[in-house]
Chain A
């Protein structure tokens, strides 16, 4: 295959850069030297002291070269993505036409399973967002991890992470998508637990992997089922192929056959459960807030550019399957769609309430991620396919920005804390006292010392809040609400009403808690010494941590204007004179109406967009502005002083406790699932394997030992009775038996168990055979 000159084969190379970087760093450039573990200059920060021990710390040259290798890999991916985008733009009907290439990967009887790459509209939008966001995260990591003793390993792992995400994006079949999906799971496991000596870190890592794995094994069943019905897993052969979709929608499922569902619905729900885990939806959302235990660039990676986006992206990919058998544009939802709508809308609100009561600067963002993913999921559920994809992209940009800005805040706070100590401003030695650099109650006034971080955070925050007209978040969120309202208005179904109301409420809370966060962090006066001195310092570190914020801020505003509805007053004609660019592109990744018309089971995937309606737009305006205003009034105008409690505690009362404790879900899961399974695991060993199976073996052994004794006695009696004429052989046999029985009696006699087992099975089988005659 000529990879470089063949536009169809070029996408293979997009993930290759970061994957190669991972291999090179791991195998070649990651070299360490040994330093005393008590040397705080080289081995401090997140690592414990080990008296008298030498620990490996990355060599300065290895650090530099590994960073360069990692950057080269991701830059190559970015350039190749752009080249691929240029190639794709030359195709007239991207969607029906696509860049694709595949190889026979696994022989299956007379056919073969093909692995390949595919660039269609869904891939295109991800190739716009992911490489840029990832590159920014890499640049940011240069500075953020500059003092970490394992920076080379860090770059290896985020390279693998990026490579896996890009693999997932360009995958042309569900299996390859799943490969990228799971490798990302492992990367997030290793990166969340990057500071693996910390208990909270490795626990969070295990929690993340286990929680998502619950969903993944269900998803695996979905993939296997899909494969067994269609005989293929290729997106082009299923999602673009009305015949396959019709087959799925009309097949009676192999399980739950009693219900009137189609195989498409069962498969759909299995696959959606995969996303419920990966994109942290209720009830599997519990891992995501803990995932911030990893270094902040990892949080940005997980929450924005990769991991969670991958979940929604896969739903976008598989959407034709979910809608097969229903007609979402006419209010008829299939089971998978209804499932998504309910889970998504519920999660959006649930997570928003939890975000209200968080004081950790990253935790607020973590819950906002869960909430925003709920928006996308709910949007897909009601058939607002375009809106969901749009929100996925804009969210990727502004959430990456917010996380990195929050990371800068934390970095600045740690810097400030360090500074305060050096200058003895505290006047007392509080080394033992643990200072939480992530607690917003310790911040305040940072707008003065960290202006760039403030302004970029503000832009990201306003985009998240959906500040009308100028931010990207508004355009994408507005479209979701518009679709929900329109379908509710026309068809008046419960699901649509639920989605509209819950999302509007969640959007209001989003604006409020975002303003609260901005005010607590940047507004008012510093509430600690650290906040007073918080800054990023000078030089390269500060530069690499600031530049990505500025670039992403541009996208957090600008990305919205590619999807302005054509009939939006004033702005529509300016930004979308002929058509809504985003929609025009994205709709092509759905089967054509000409093709689906022949199949009664399939909806018209290209149904008309909702015309402009004032109600959802007004709702968008009101919830965003009201939330922001309320947050502004409560926290910015009347800033908290050190030690003063959050006014929300009083307002919300016991609800606040409930929100802050995440509805006690983690505790419930611990009691209901984690501890019982640990108990069960012990019982399997102690009770079942030792207590029953082995005990049975030992009993049989004992019986055999007793038989051995009996034989011995019998032999002796015979010898005595018959006299000297008895052959010596018998004596020997007796001695032999005695030796056996005085040794490890129960063991040798296991033999008898085997014989008994044979006899038992023989009896059962022969009886069975006799019956069968």
Chain B
């Protein structure tokens, strides 16, 4: 792993954006030119993107095989000694993909904000600050550090929505962005209360916050004994609930999703891009990194009344999200809310993938010999991580395009558009491409991961997978509805004198996304071996 001026790359990835944010924000008072702030933010975020790409290839070059220790720890030093928390950073094949995604999306978000005139330096600084938060989550190997950065992401996002969100609609006194940002903040924050307690409980009881160590220790911790005078299994169930709710809200898993259409809909373009592209992944990543390995026994616990285990319940909720998310998107009249609900739909696939992964993991952990079914779980795990990456690309792309349209027309109502392809052929072509990537067209990125998840889920949750197909069908429905409303039909002459074509900055922001969507669809093995090796190693290590 490379160093940057003697500091390990991961620490730079974590603190670099914060430092950049500070620089960009300071420029506002030093130099009045907004252009300077923009270019500074772009260049700094591009440098960080290059570094994250370098980290990706360095990890690849490490050539880890299945069965090896997958974590490459680059930094481990005392940090919060009173608690026993340490500054430990490291990556494996799952987090490196997320680091890459975060690194790539941030400069694109900066490009998408190029036209922001209102306090542009602060806007860009918040984007960079958000990058610090999410990078921190993805490389944290210490539970306290994880929590810290997890919460940190909320702050810039809150202000982005609250201050730069949509303009008030005519006739409505308050702009929806205040409602959306407050709802987002309190909902997310409330969700993590339990997580904070659980984090402290685990760290205090096990005597370490190191995630890799906890993966070994915590599932076996004082099995059958009492802790704090309560049975350990109950304590674990409580801790599980703390994490579970926090991450369910973030993914979002139905019915914890209603903050999302508001937040995504009202956020500025760059905010929506990062929110959908990265922030939702924090929840899914939390499930894979923490909830699955820490609580294998809880996943198999039967839930009263419903009569299925927790993993199955999670799969049910995910499928409900897939189906209802698709329906809700199909019923939308607002383009950004349509795209927002598509996230509920797509992240549902991540959810069902996690459910398969968790259930299989737990079964092997309890000693069941699953034989060939491990292959199923590996495919589901691969698909889940890849779907997270793919959804990051396509949802960011969709929000960039929807935002580009909103910025020019100042309306999000689908019925206000119509026939725009006549006037904006390049925008139209790119919207079609991105929409079809989002739809999961074979040959583009989304299909590979959705296929893997369907294949992985089918033998485990057969009926649920079949029901999820209804959602997949209506994915087609809402995508076509969006295309039809924006591009097809006679041109709406209201926009006759508007320039609707993508600006160069927007086009530049779309280009890497398009390339990656195509590349991943045509040749997924550019990225998949890293995920596959780590996922396979998780199961291999568990079985041995």
Which residues does A use to contact B, with CB under 8 Å?
A: 26, 32, 48, 50-53, 55-56, 104-110, 112, 175, 178-179, 181-183, 186, 189-190, 193, 196-197, 199, 202, 206, 209-210, 213-214, 217-218, 220-221, 223-225, 227-228, 231, 254-255, 677-678, 680-685, 688-689, 693-694, 697, 744, 747-755, 757-758, 761-762, 764-773
Contacts and interface: CB of A to CB of B under 8 A. Distances in A.
Which 5 pairs from chain A and chain B are nearest by CB?
Answer: A754-B190, A681-B331, A179-B442, A107-B532, A202-B488
B178 A744 contact: yes
A770 B190 contact: no
Q: Which of A56, A209, A758, A771 has the most CB of B within 10 A?
A: A758
Nearest to B233: A769
Q: Which of B332, B532, B533 has the most CB of A within 10 A?
A: B532
A750 B301 contact: no
A771 B234 CA distance: 11
Contacts of B241: 758, 761-762, 765
Contacts of A221: 454, 458, 465-466, 469
B349 to A, nearest CB: 12
Contact of A110 (B66, B245, B304): B66
Interface in B376-418: 376, 378-379, 382
B15 interface: no
A642 to B, nearest CB: 33
Interface stretch (B47-55, B117-125, B473-481): B473-481
A766 B231 CA distance: 10
Contacts of B242: 758
Interface string B200-231: 00000000000000000000000000000001
A167 to B, nearest CB: 9
A178 B447 CA distance: 11
A14 to B, nearest CB: 16
B41 interface: no
A196 B423 CA distance: 13
Nearest to B300: A772
Given A255-B462, A693-B258, A754-B193, A228 B455 contact: yes
B330 A677 contact: yes
A733 to B, nearest CB: 19
B496 A109 contact: no
A109 B473 contact: no
B487 interface: yes
A761 B523 CA distance: 42
Contact of A747 (B183, B237, B476, B491): B183
B443 interface: yes
Contact of A677 (B194, B332, B474, B493): B474
B307 to A, nearest CB: 10
B524 A106 contact: yes
A197 B491 contact: yes
B442 A182 contact: yes
B330 A744 contact: no
A682 B330 CA distance: 8
Nearest to B378: A109
A693 B255 contact: yes
B436 interface: yes
Nearest to B480: A206
Contact of B237 (A677, A754, A755, A762): A762
A696 B160 CA distance: 27
A50 B234 contact: no
Contacts of B190: 750-755
A105 B524 contact: yes
Contact of B301 (A104, A225, A228, A769): A769
Contacts of B240: 765
Nearest to A43: B422
A769 B234 contact: yes
Interface string B153-190: 00000000000000000000000001100110011011
A681 B378 CA distance: 34
Given A109-B532, A213-B473, A748-B182, 16 more contacts: A105-B525, A106-B528, A182-B441, A182-B442, A193-B488, A196-B421, A196-B487, A221-B454, A228-B458, A685-B328, A754-B191, A757-B245, A761-B245, A762-B241, A766-B234, A769-B233
A747 B305 CA distance: 31
B101 interface: no
Contacts of B372: 231
Given A681-B330, A755-B193, A109 B536 contact: yes
A518 to B, nearest CB: 36
B135 to A, nearest CB: 26
B490 interface: yes
B309 to A, nearest CB: 9
B471 to A, nearest CB: 9
Contacts of B324: 684, 688
A359 to B, nearest CB: 27
A330 to B, nearest CB: 33
B528 A751 contact: no
Contacts of B66: 109-110
Nearest to B374: A109
Interface residues of B, number: 94
Given A26-B429, A693-B255, A762 B186 contact: no
A461 B190 CA distance: 72
Contact of B454 (A210, A220, A254, A677): A220
Contacts of A678: 330-331
Q: Which of A32, A206, A680, A757 has the most CB of B within 10 A?
A: A757
A112 B382 CA distance: 12
11 contacts: A50-B493, A107-B529, A183-B443, A206-B484, A220-B451, A224-B451, A254-B458, A693-B255, A754-B190, A762-B241, A765-B241
A254 B182 contact: no
B238 interface: yes
B247 to A, nearest CB: 12
A274 B395 CA distance: 28
A751 B186 contact: yes
A210 B425 CA distance: 24
B476 A56 contact: no
Given A231-B375, A681-B330, A750 B442 contact: no
Contacts of A765: 237-238, 240-241, 298, 301, 303, 310
B476 A209 contact: yes
A183 B441 contact: yes
Nearest to B524: A106
Given A762-B238, A764-B303, A772-B301, A52 B423 contact: no
A55 B182 contact: no
A83 B193 CA distance: 68
A748 to B, nearest CB: 6
A193 B488 CA distance: 9
Contacts of B376: 228
B27 interface: no
Given A197-B419, A221-B469, A225-B458, A175 B451 contact: yes
A684 B331 contact: yes
Given A220-B451, A678-B331, A681-B330, A750 B186 contact: yes
Given A105-B524, A182-B443, A770 B491 contact: no
A55 B496 CA distance: 10
B14 interface: no
B543 interface: no
B489 A196 contact: yes
A492 to B, nearest CB: 37
Contacts of A53: 423, 491, 493, 496
Q: Which of A50, A196, A227, A683 has the most CB of B within 10 A?
A: A196
A190 B432 contact: yes
A179 B445 CA distance: 12
B84 interface: no
Nearest to B481: A206
Given A197-B419, A773-B231, A758 B298 contact: no
B472 A220 contact: yes
B302 interface: yes
A697 B258 CA distance: 10
A685 B329 CA distance: 9
